[in-house]
Every structure is written in structure tokens, then in C-alpha cells.
Structure 1
Amino acid sequence: MRNEILIIGGGVAGCAASIALARKGLSVTLIEREPTPRHKVCGEFLSGEALEDLHALGIDVASLGAVPIQHVRLAAARRAAEAPLPFPAASLTRKTLDTALLAEALVAGVHVKSGCRVQTLNRNADNVWEATLDDGSTRTAPTVFLATGKHDMRGHGRPKDPQQWVAFKMYFRLTSEQTAELADASELMLYPGGYGGIQPVEGGIANLCCVVQQRYLACAGNRWENFLAKMQEDCPHLAMRLKGAEPLLTKPIAITHLPYGFIRSSTEDGLYCIGDQAAVIPSFTGDGISIALHTARCATTAYLAGVLAPAFQTKLRSDLLFQMRLAEVAANGLNNSLARAVLPFCLKVWPGVMRVTAKLTRVAQSATAHPHMVTES
């Protein structure tokens, strides 16, 4: 029992942690609610930090068809400004990435149980974590890594989302002309109540991922078709990009109540919270996957160094706080009506501002990643 670890959630963070721990010879069981990897609401941007972490895990994104991303564009009204990214980046669908990570977990010796949901997670009479699954079975372990992503575990939830964000994702096959225009860029587009991004992914398709506050979505009758039309009306650049495009899903993937800006400050003994269960950075930064990998790496390093979960969670919060708050300020500023009004006149300075913001909102290779420094905390 002392070497058994239970990981709940088989997304990026859960798989990354399971691979790292299994490679150290530990007995790791990973429980994933979905029977097979699927598409998820995600911008699918891989920053330089994410690429480094994936390489360390044995994931070659280029061989999976990842598209190099070298530029970022900000579109306001009918104008757009472009800036080169100050770091290497790529784009890869979550379905492809999650499939590769799960395969690597199996190679590492992780016991993967897919298609089962954990209904409850509590400490039993022996002070050991006990997870009850929806098939009635139980799994016990002295240590649990909570990596359920955007889905909260009963009894271990996060604060409610005051802005009531709703996120959508749709894949499109753009026309050849618009595919060439999009090229190797990730485009950020602004509209009242939210923002969206479109970028190429493998297979010659484009991912449109967007967020909007519920009250603005209600003005569109809470219907995707109306909201998409309103986005294109408010941002003609998006309308141009989607002209003649073919939607590739019968309906968009959607999720509600995203607690942007959340950083977990405490946890219980033996419960390491990672990924979106540790911190939820605004989608504006494109750093979600990097955060997932970063928190998984820091948590496994802390565990192997003998750092207790509460101490790890406090240190992780301290390390992420600056980047998270800066990302919130940037996202809220862009979504301000006054900022949107003057933005078309400020695009000349956008490249310089973007380069500085992109660097500051990256996840730092913090002290949490180094065992000897973590132990001292």
C-alpha cells in the first residue's frame, strides 16, 4: 500500500503524473471517466514550456502531426495586427495528444481503468483514501493525485464561477485561400462579453475555441448558431476567416462555469491537486496545457522528495500567483468595452505589448520543480 498511487483523471495532467511516477517504479492506477480519448474544449496551443515537458515524457508532437505556430494575431473590428511569438510553439488536438499520453502511460506500466467515474473520494477508517466507482467497485491508496480537469469531484470542488463563463469549440475546414491566410498563426478575436481564438491543427483543419459570459450568450437566445453569427458581426475578421468554411462537428463541444483565476491554496494530506484542479488560467494566454504539465511535474517531484501535499499546494500557489493575476488583468482588459473601442487605433503598438505579455504570462520553471528547494519550503 505504501507505494500505491491513485490518479483520478486521464487528461494531460493525470497522464503526465502517472508516467513520471510509474517510471520511478511506483505502482500507479489511473482512472479515466471516458472509455477512449475524445475532443475537448481546449485551444490546443502548446507553448515552449509545454513542448519541453512533453519531450521529457517521450511525446514527439511533430510525429503526431503538430502544426508549428510562429505568429499571433489580434483582431479588432476589421483590422488585425501580427507579432512573432518569442518562443517555439505548436498546435495539436487534445484527442491526439491524450491518445499519445495514455499510450505512453501504459508503456510505463500504469494500470489504466477507462470508462469509469469516481463517485466519491474519502478517507476510510484506516485513514487511507478510498475511491468509489460508478460500477460499485472501490480503489484504495494512501496517495491520490486529483486531475479531473474542468469537472469537480464531489466534496473537493472549487469556488463557483462568478462570471458564468461558457466555452465552445468547433472544428472547421477553411477554404484554401483562408487556410493560406491563417498559415502558422494563432488568431485572437474580441467581441462583447468574451473572446475567441482560431488556429490550425493537424489534418489541415482549424480549431475555433471561444468563451462568453452567460448573460451575453442569453442575448443570442443561448443558441450556438446565433452566437456564432453575432461573433462574426462584432468581429468581421472572423467572418472573413470563416467565409465558405465547413463545420466538421454536428454541434460544438461546450462546457460551462469555468472558474478563471482560481488557484487552490490548500489540500488534505495525501491529496495532490494538479491541472485545472490546481489552477485555471484565462484562456486568453493559451497556457492551459502548459499549466497542466507544469503542475503535474511539480507535484510528482514534490511527492518523490517527500514533500507533503499541503506544503506542495501552498508553494505551487505562490509560484503561479503572479502569472495568473497578470493573465487575469490582460484578459479582463481586452474584454473591457472601452479597450475594444480604442483597440483598432492601438494595433501599431500591439506587437511589442504582445511579446512582453507573452513572456510574463508563461509558466516559470519555478523552485517547485527542484526537490532540494521544495523540501526546504
Structure 2
Amino acid sequence: MPEEVLIVGGGVAGCAASIALARKGRGVTLIEREPTSRHKVCGEFLSGEALEDLHALGIDVASLGAVPIDYVRLAAARRAAEAPLPFPAASLTRKALDTALIAEAVAAGVRVELGRSVQALNRTTANVWQATLDDGTTREAQTVFLSTGKHDLRGHTRPKDPEQWVAFKMYFRLTPAQTAELADASELMLYPGGYGGIQPVEGGVANLCCVVQQKHLARVGHRWENFLAKMQQDCPHLAMRLAGAEPLLAKPIAITHIPYGYVRRTTEEGLYCIGDQAAVIPSFTGDGISIALHTARCAAAAYLAAEPAPLFQAKLRSALLAQMRLAEFAADGLNNSLARAVLPFCLRVWPGVMRVTARLTRVAQNTAVAPQAVAG
């Protein structure tokens, strides 16, 4: 007997969609390949939109130890500029957030299977989706929500990343002086071939998350310690921030080939693609978690309104495209050597530019994809 809804991937988007559907009385099974929540490559920034969506899902981020973020700083070479954020924001580790979302999904009545990996997802001749798991067993469902994050499922891959981005994440315990200096800010660091961000998370820890093009990483021998040293050489502000800091992971978490700027054009009947499987915004915007929640909420509403998945996916693309293209344009500017030299100086003169950019690259709640029911 096919299940009503199968959700592949138990990250932010998958959990959010499962909770929304289960609360409406739908039978939902969620399959997640990890046996327990873990740290992931993520800037861990929660924008105002993300906070609203999480509140609606019953997630109290303050009780989880989330750190308020009130300012954004941009640093390149020896210059830095600061501006207050134009919306409430916070920072929380993905491990803590994912743990809370899984628990909320279980409480909502979702059947959660952890430590199970979907190896293939195919449409059968009976127009039912069949997921093949790592042990050879199968699950069938009329509808599937694909939410595997940055990891593609065989047969449902996204386009190759032409820039060949590599992302790293490391937690640090900063010195007391640098912890006080960082305070309630999210700092964006610019360097040749990429950019990075550092911000406080719960437990008095700082999250450094950074991206770099493969060709620049090759110049330092593809080694994290060499890349970290080069980042600090190119951006003395980061060197100052990490002076005397203690790394808290044995090695950084890393991921490759991130298709920044990707927005899915279409999908198959009964297959709703959400989170990074729907759109991948450049990391500097801090909007990844917000987009995961936004796409999950819109997809759940579309399914409940009997809106076909291909129509939903096309409407979602139309709603997100302008924001994504603006973010891509801004990301290209950050990788320009002239921009790295003059941008912090210009922003110190006119910090309002940072506030405007922060607003324009957000997922606006009023751009939700309104579901359209289609008879039959």
C-alpha cells in the first residue's frame, strides 16, 4: 500500500514540510540518512523570516540557546565597516536546530526513519514513486518531497557547479577579548577567490564558514591549514579575530561543488523539490535556512491545495528568480579585486548600502507562492 507522502531528507526543509503536512492530518514518512543530527556546512544565520517560520513550527530558538545577531560587518584587507541589521536575526548551530525539528516532527505524528539512506527514486508504471533504500527495501508513495540538501540523489542531480566552489566550516573558541569584540555581529570577510563569515553561536563558540574556488584552493595544496593561513594573510581582520583562538573540531567539515545561483525550472508529477534542491543562494546572504523554510512552507501549502508539483515548481522559480540573480550579482562583485579594495571604505561612508542589500536579498514573506488548486 503506497504511503501518502514520503519526504526524502530530514534537514530543515524536510522537517518543516513534514510538520506542516502532519498537522493537517496527512500521513507522512520522513527518511533521513544520518542516525542522529550532526554539524553541517552552514553559516547558521537565522534571518527575521526564518525566525517567523520556526516560531510557526513551534521551535523556540531562544530556549535552544540562539544568539541574537544585531549587526553585520564587512572586512577586506585592513578595512572594516559595520551597519545594524534591518531585521531581527539570530545564530544557532544546525545540530541544535535539526535536533529540535526532528523532535517536533515526531510530536506532530510524522513517521521518522533515521539512519536510512535512499539510493534511488523512480516513478513506476503505476504512477507511484518508489524509493529504494540502502538495504534494498523499498517505500512507495503517491507524493514525494525531495529535500536532500546539498547532496543530490541519483537520477535527480542538479547542474554541475562551473566555479567549482569548496566550502569549509570550523568552530573556534575565541579569546575573551575577541569574543567581546565580535559580540552580536555577523562578520563577512573578503579574500581572493571567495569569502567567509564568522559569527557567535550558542555555548560561547564562534562559527567560521567560508567558500573558495577550487583553483584558489589548489594554489595552497588543497590543505585546510594552508587555506586558513592564506585567508588570514589576505584579510588581517580575520587574523586578528582568530589570534589565540582554539579550533574545536579535529578537522573542518567540508563540501564541494555547490551550484550557487541554481533555481529549479521544473519537476515531475508528484515530486516537490524544496530547500537546496529548489534553489541555492550564495552563502554571503545568510538566507539558506530561510529559503529552506520558505520553500517547505510553500510546497506544503501547494500540496494541500492539490496544486500539481510542476506548476508549484514553476511558480516558486518565478518568485525567487529576481532575488537569486541579485545575490549572484553581489557575489560576483565581492570576488572582484577592486571591489575588495574600495568596498569597506565606501560602506564606512555610506553604511546604509549594507542595510539595503540585506533587505533586497531576503526571502520576503509576501512573495509566498500562493497555491492554485487544479481540478482532477
TM-score norm. by structure 1 comes to 0.97
Partner in structure 1 of residue 140 of structure 2:
140
Q: C-alpha separation between the residues in 1 aligned to 2:344 and 2:368?
A: 41
Partner in structure 1 of residue 203 of structure 2:
203
* Superposed displacement of residue 77, structure 1: 1.2
Aligned residues: 375
* Superposed displacement of residue 347, structure 1: 3.1
Q: C-alpha separation between the residues in 1 aligned to 2:13 and 2:274?
A: 6
8 Å CA contact 1:18, 1:30 repeated in 2: yes
Residue deviations 1:110-165, cap 9 Å, x none? 00111111111001231100000001110000100000000001111100000000
- Correspondence 1:251 to 2:251: yes
Q: C-alpha separation between the residues in 2 aligned to 1:294 and 1:203?
A: 28
8 Å CA contact 2:80, 2:345 repeated in 1: no
Distance 1:103 1:350, change over 3 A: farther
Letter in 2 for 1:7: I
Q: C-alpha separation between the residues in 1 aligned to 2:321 and 2:366?
A: 12
Q: C-alpha separation between the residues in 2 aligned to 1:138 and 1:82?
A: 52
* Superposed displacement of residue 335, structure 1: 1.0
- Correspondence 1:356 to 2:350: no
Equivalences for 1:215-230 in 2 at 5 Å?
215-230=215-230
Q: C-alpha separation between the residues in 2 aligned to 1:213 and 1:371?
A: 38
Q: C-alpha separation between the residues in 2 aligned to 1:316 and 1:276?
A: 13
Partner in structure 2 of residue 165 of structure 1:
165
8 Å CA contact 2:43, 2:208 repeated in 1: yes
8 Å CA contact 1:315, 1:368 repeated in 2: no
* Superposed displacement of residue 3, structure 1: 6.6
Secondary structure of the structure 1 residue equivalent to 2:132: strand
Partner in structure 2 of residue 242 of structure 1:
242
Letter in 2 for 1:311: L
* Superposed displacement of residue 334, structure 1: 1.1
8 Å CA contact 1:30, 1:111 repeated in 2: yes
Q: C-alpha separation between the residues in 2 aligned to 1:316 and 1:24?
A: 22
Partner in structure 1 of residue 287 of structure 2:
287
Equivalences for 1:268-279 in 2 at 5 Å?
268-279=268-279
Aligned-pair identity (%): 82
Secondary structure of the structure 1 residue equivalent to 2:299: helix
Partner in structure 2 of residue 306 of structure 1:
306
Secondary structure of the structure 1 residue equivalent to 2:83: strand
Q: C-alpha separation between the residues in 1 aligned to 2:3 and 2:133?
A: 21
Q: C-alpha separation between the residues in 1 aligned to 2:286 and 2:117?
A: 28
Residue deviations 1:174-209, cap 9 Å, x none? 000000000000000000000000000000000000
Secondary structure of the structure 2 residue equivalent to 1:142: strand
Aligned-CA RMSD value: 1.3
Distance 1:295 1:344, change over 3 A: closer
Residue deviations 1:244-295, cap 9 Å, x none? 0000000000000000000001000000000000000000100000000000
* Superposed displacement of residue 60, structure 1: 0.2
* Superposed displacement of residue 369, structure 1: 4.3
Uncovered stretches (5+) of structure 2, i.e. residues with no partner = none
Q: C-alpha separation between the residues in 2 aligned to 1:332 and 1:58?
A: 37
Q: C-alpha separation between the residues in 2 aligned to 1:274 and 1:173?
A: 34
Residue deviations 1:80-120, cap 9 Å, x none? 11100000000000000000000000000000111111111
8 Å CA contact 2:2, 2:128 repeated in 1: no
TM-score norm. by structure 2 comes to 0.98
Partner in structure 2 of residue 318 of structure 1:
318
